[in-house]
Amino acid sequence: MIHKGVEYTVTAVAPGIWKWQFRIGDKVVTGKTEARLNLLAIRRVQLRIDRELKKAERE
């Protein structure tokens, strides 16, 4: 999936546990989140991408 030009993945690891990953430039960011719905997990990753883009903009 793509959010603001950043490609990311969200994968179910276990019921209610989602693993995600995205890359901004040379930096790869990975993590896990707990959410019952995949759309909630996706939204959380999109918010994280927004924060990382804002942080990269300041640097």
Q: Range of 9's domain? A: 2-58
Residue 59 pLDDT greater than 90, yes or no: no
Q: Are 49 and 22 in contact (CB under 8 A)?
A: yes
Instruction: Identify the H or E element spanning 35.
Output: none
**pLDDT per residue as tens digits for the range 15-53:** 999 999 999 989 999 999 999 999 999 999 999 999 999
pTM of this prediction?
0.90
Q: What is the number of structural domains in the chain?
A: 1
Q: Are 29 and 56 in contact (CB under 8 A)?
A: no
Instruction: Identify the H or E element spanning 1.
Output: none
